[in-house]
Chains A and B, each alone.
Chain A
Amino acid sequence: MEEIPRSNGSPPLHSIYENDPDLRDLVVQFVDELDGQVLSIRAACISEDFATLRRISHQLKGAAGGYGFDPIGDCAARLEDDMLSDEMDIARLSERVEDLITTCRAAVRPADA
């Protein structure tokens, strides 16, 4: 089955657990919910709601790796770190946010789901 590209440019990102029977269904659910997360991140960014942005990045940092998506967890961790740093640089922050969004959109469901 051919995969539908979820973003232009980035190669598809597969969960390292997509063949783990204990986790497959959860990975599907995780990927399906990422669209909603991306929307929330965008909305938080536009309204400069940093508390929500931090909460989402913190949760993704802790959980994405558990679902086999280390790159998402890493992007979220970098975003959270920047938000926690004393001199928050808005330009750099939006770069981090875009990185996180691009990585989230590259995530694909397990091949035969």
Chain B
Amino acid sequence: MKIDPIHQFNIEPLFTIGQIGKHTIAFTNSSLYMFLSVAVISLLMIGGMAGRQLVPGRLQSIAEISYEFVASTIRSTAGSEGMKFFPLIFSLFMFICISNLIGIIPYTFTVSSHIIVTAALAFLVFFTVLIYGLYKNGFKFFKIFVPSGVPIYILPLVMFIEILSFFLRPVSHSVRLFANMLAGHIALKVFAGFVAMLGVSLGALGWVGGVLPLALTVALTALELLVAFLQAYVFAILTCIYLNDAIHPGH
């Protein structure tokens, strides 16, 4: 058995849907897990709230806690005006969080381990900020590039840095999530692979020696659980901070 830590990221087309230009559009394993995540979120948020109980049960508690968590994150970073974007941020957070958590289950696929997915989400945020900022504030929106209280002689430099960092936002936003998920899953696979490799190559001694990488795999899985949630939270809170620029330009 050859252990390839990259194999888990393969995109396997399940069936072809159609063709756009030169590109064939296939329903892939990635698509499957995207829709699975959407289904799980819908089940949680709609099925969990079906009881509409005054004293919530477990599933309803999870749904309400997710709601309150995202709502308070928005209120604390973008103010109450940011609640306009509540559905968007909630969708982003839940989509990333649930797909990451599903991805930790062995033999599953992690949607956000592909740069194209995270980049698409990051650009969605970037253009939302840009378009809403221009629509709401007009040219005042460009005040985000001109911090107040900066001496005039270093203003050009500061403006250059601000503009550069603004346009690099989608890159850092997407690469952070992508790299975290990719690296975590590779590390997990490598350590889990050691267990099997030691057992196959060294026999009984190898199985005893495999305890150490096994323990590490368990620890890494726990860490990945944290990272799966944390990266979703980081993605959501950065979205809030970027939207705050669009809502209140000028530092």
**Do chains A and B stick together as partners?**
no
